[in-house]
Amino acid sequence: MNKTLPTELTLVNDDTIDRHNLQRQVRFSEHWIGELKVEAVKHRLA
């Protein structure tokens, strides 16, 4: 069986990274405060 993995991922979220809840958003750092969450995730997946 030859299974292929998807080569594209679509992220949809209009939230930004906030300092006040950064402690529970472990995948983000202070560097990304104010930025869109999808941009930060995109950068980490690249």
CB 18 within 8 A of CB 36: no
Predicted confidence at residue 9, as pLDDT, reads 84
| Residue 32: count of CB within 10 angstroms of its CB | 19
Predicted confidence at residue 24, as pLDDT, reads 87
pLDDT in tens, 1-46: 668 877 888 989 999 999 998 888 888 889 999 999 999 988 888 7
| Residue 26: count of CB within 10 angstroms of its CB | 7
Residue type, 25: Q
